Amino acid sequence: MKSIKKNLYPKLNEPKMSALSSFIFQRWGVLILLSLFTISTISCDSPKPAEPVLIGKALPVWAKGRETEKNLNLGFHGVFRAENGQDVKLKITGSTLYRVFLNGEFLGYGPARTAQGFFRVDEYELKDRLKSGANIVAVEVAGYNVNSYYTMDQPSFLQAEVVAGDDVLLATGEDAGFSAFVLKERLQKAERYSFQRPFTEYYRLDENSRAWRSSEAEPAETLELAVQAGGELLPRNLLLPDFDVVRPQAIYSKGTLSKQVPEGYGKDRSLTNISDILKGFPEDKLETIPSLWLQEIVTVSHEIISEPYSGASFPVSENSFVTCDFGTNLSGFIGGKVSCSEPSKLVFFFDEILTDGDVQPKKRSGSVNNYVVYELEPGTYNLESFESYTFKFLKIMVLQGACKFNDVHLREYAYPEHSLASFESDNTKLNAIYEAAEQTFRQNSVDIFMDCPSRERAGWLCDSYFMAIMEKGFTGKSAIAYNYYENFALPDSFAFLPDGMLPMCFPADHNDGVFIPNWAMWFIVQVEDYASRGGDPELIAKLEPRVSKLLDYFVQFENEDGLLEKLQSWIFVEWSKANDFVQDVNYPTNMLYSAALEKAGKLYQNTTWAEKADKVKQTILKQSFNGSFFVDNAVREADGKLQVTTNTTEACQYYAFFFNIATPETHPELWKKLTTDFGPKRDDKVTYPDVFRANAFIGNYLRMDILSRYGLQKQMLGEIQDYFYYMAEQTGTLWENTGSYASCNHGFASYLGHVLYRDVLGISSVDYLKKEVTIRFADLDLNKCSGVMPVEDEAIELKWERFGNQLNYSVKVPTGFKVNIENLSSLELNKVN
């Protein structure tokens, strides 16, 4: 399934700065001190509004004395009067997460995440949703107060106001403002969803539980509210998410269930490791533990029916299930209308892919609790989960009573799809990969760049390098990138981490002190790339102290050869055997270190860093290359001598070429091996069995870039299909690994959209500072290709088709951009209108 493109792509509020005397990044990374220089002379896509009025009157409030209570869910209710079509806005933020309704109808969800002590304000236009007279605003707020990779552990509050021009119609903290009460329907003492995310959802409802959302009457049992510290308010900067409702494509299967006690219960660390380091409710304090009793529920009969889903109602009796197929792996809120004539217990059980033809997430990946449980009194309910989940298959199980379901759906929680971005060729596999890249990007970029929208929803470095490039290709802007890097610039320090070190993912809490030094180096690589794509110069300048302190941190680990040795915490190269060879001196890590030093030197005119980068590079060449391959590591012997090992991985070779330690000219024999003997079809038991295979993240993606860099587009076109088409075919998204044993929807993988634009369509490069577009044609096993790549509020449009020995093409670029044409094909070019 490909989501429907919008007819209009709203323009972000991006006024240009009037003047600056700061460091402006130029193409080759040189910072020049400028004064009285208007930003209009360069392309800068900073989304930062000038002096915004974010919230004028509302105060941050929460239940008195309960702002640090774990998993406390409050409902806020307010009424204001307006006229239909009146220009009215809701401004809202809070901690941890909110969901808001207007007159009983879903309005939005947020806020966009940022650093601890800072809060981004969402703004909703209400005029098209108002009714004349009284209007009801209902806000549900989950105050989690636990550490995670997804949301920050900080005191709970809601800060919201409804305004009409300068008039405040409704505000938190004001007399006759919002009232609040505890949402007892959601069990408080619930288990975590995963090690990386906060709590699961378990509900006990009757028909009146949610009537307050559309009632003018103040809810009973209201709380005493107290003003909280809140924090510094920031603009969202980003488009609001898509909340489109998507329904299943088919009823995949139905069957019966029974209870069977397993020989042993699998317990994830999110259940067993609860402590001051991993916060939550200990196992003996939980009211119920679905992750355990769901292991007792087994499928007895299973009939695959694959009937198209019309939205019509269907019954599910006790100890039965129906599995819905959404056609594509999607992210959002699980919903449906449910009627039951007797007390019932149902479970929404879901996964991204089937295991042995059934939904069995614990067998595929035991690290997540993919369930939402409802205990329902007789009645009719419009259910929708509070948290966003990721799945292609939804197994609806009724364990008690009987229910009738209709309008089963997923409400999307994804970044809006640009109306122009497109790619189409006469190769259906490439088209499917592009659409999978688009879907993967949208679901992993709703407010920051995420690794996956499922297990973690975490803003990892390195993953975000690839996503930031793809944001520019899919949206024409770097709004998410701006927010993402600004989040790193905001805090005074990062709790639990050594001085100078950056979090491996952020915003996140790292109470266990774990960090990835490699990802901190990727941060520098990412910032330099952001600058080269017209990134905000003020933000780049603000990040210099972060870069400087980080490089100072690494000095203590430099050995007598100038290489990093015995780095601390989690040294990560890629998801393969390469991660087994990270001590004492890891050469891929030092290749990355050389690149980080070089790029930092260019960004901030630091010759010391640049000179050190070259020395590291030369030392790696001397030590790591054994005449045939680059080896992965060296170990310090008992006598103090550094001994280079024979450990060799495919990933290490790609690091060497990606970071310019080696080139086809300097290492021709190795390059020949990599391009002829390696790749997706290598049988590593026969061909170079001592060179351990690379994985998707990040080896295979580095390989794609290396093949592109050195003109092997034709070869890459074939490899892309071998590496990635089966992913697009199975889930409509792109995966974390080459296998489906973990996330089947990983943000970095959306980078394939960039690869298709660059190496298949032929938009080889875009210089956003010099305003130049380079079109490069190569010999490919394709007859035609067309596509549109947004650039700010315009686009690059390219179309070509082969006729015999002639290649006809047309190209359109944004106003003021120059076009350079490079013909590396064997065909004669013919430009047509």
For residues 109 and 255, state if they share a domain: no
Rounded Cα distance, 446 and 438, in Å: 13
pLDDT of residue 56: 93
pLDDT of residue 234: 98
Give a yes or no: residue 214 inside a domain: yes
For residues 254 and 227, state if they share a domain: no
Task: Produce one character per residue of 123-156: b if its CB has 16 or more CB atoms within 10 Å, e if not.
Answer: bbebeeebeeeebbbbbbbbbbbbbbbbbbbbbb
Rounded Cα distance, 580 and 646, in Å: 13
Average pLDDT over the chain reads 93
Residue 40 has pLDDT above 70, yes or no: no
pTM listed for this prediction: 0.93
Residue 458 has pLDDT above 80, yes or no: yes
Mean pLDDT of 558-568: 98
- 13-22, 467-476, 566-575: least confidently modelled range: 13-22
Q: What share of the chain is helix, strand, coil (3-state, %, to 5)?
A: 25, 30, 45
Mean pLDDT of 231-240: 97
Give a yes or no: residue 309 inside a domain: yes
For residues 177 and 283, state if they share a domain: no
Give a yes or no: residue 94 inside a domain: yes
CA distances from 619 to 276, 532, 646 (A): 44, 28, 17
Residue 1 has pLDDT above 70, yes or no: no
Number of domains in the chain: 2
CA distances from 832 to 225, 614, 818 (A): 68, 47, 17
The DSSP symbol for 355 reads: B
For residues 179 and 281, state if they share a domain: no
The string of pLDDT tens digits covering residues 116-136 is: 999 999 999 999 999 999 999
Beta-bridge partner residues of 164: 167
Pairing mode of beta strands 118-125, 232-235: parallel
Give a yes or no: residue 263 inside a domain: yes
| HSE-up of residue 651 (Cα within 13 Å, Cβ side) | 28
For residues 142 and 215, state if they share a domain: yes
Beta carbons of 279 and 195 less than 8 angstroms apart: no
Mean pLDDT of 151-178: 96
DSSP codes joined into one string, 675-701:
HHT-STT--TTTSSTTEEPP-IIIIIH
- 101-105, 364-368, 496-500, 550-554: least confidently modelled range: 364-368
The string of pLDDT tens digits covering residues 381-431 is: 999 999 999 999 999 999 999 999 999 999 999 999 999 999 999 999 999
For residues 223 and 259, state if they share a domain: no
Non-local CB neighbours of 411 within 8 Å, separated by 6+ positions: 106, 243, 244, 245, 246, 332, 333, 335, 384
Rounded Cα distance, 529 and 449, in Å: 15
Beta-bridge partner residues of 322: 254, 396
Rounded Cα distance, 526 and 437, in Å: 20
The two structure tokens encoding residue 599: 């790029």
Q: How many residues does the chain have?
A: 833
Mean pLDDT of 105-123: 98
pLDDT of residue 282: 98
- 264-268, 493-497, 619-623: least confidently modelled range: 264-268
Residue 15 has pLDDT above 90, yes or no: no
pLDDT of residue 310: 86
- CATH of residue 81's domain is 2.60.120.260
- CATH of residue 341's domain is 2.60.120
For residues 229 and 250, state if they share a domain: no
Output 37 or 50, whichever has higher pLDDT. 50
The string of pLDDT tens digits covering residues 42-83 is: 344 545 544 567 999 999 999 999 999 999 999 999 999 999
For residues 308 and 383, state if they share a domain: yes
Rounded Cα distance, 109 and 105, in Å: 12
Mean pLDDT of 729-745: 94
pLDDT of residue 51: 58
For residues 214 and 289, state if they share a domain: no
Rounded Cα distance, 716 and 813, in Å: 26
For residues 147 and 284, state if they share a domain: no
Rounded Cα distance, 111 and 156, in Å: 13
φ, ψ for residue 418 (rounded to 5)? -65, 135
pLDDT of residue 833: 81
Q: Which domain holds residue 331?
A: 245-412
pLDDT of residue 258: 97
For residues 341 and 276, state if they share a domain: yes
pLDDT of residue 52: 61
Give a yes or no: residue 140 inside a domain: yes
Give a yes or no: residue 318 inside a domain: yes
- 230-239, 285-294, 353-362, 571-580: least confidently modelled range: 353-362
Block residue for tokens 């938190």: 172
pLDDT of residue 29: 35
Give a yes or no: residue 691 inside a domain: no
Final residue belonging to a domain, choices 351, 377, 412: 412
Residue 16 has pLDDT above 50, yes or no: no
For residues 305 and 212, state if they share a domain: no
pLDDT of residue 363: 73
Give a yes or no: residue 540 inside a domain: no
Mean pLDDT of 433-451: 98
pLDDT of residue 311: 84
| pLDDT category of residue 26 using cuts at 50, 70 and 90 | very low
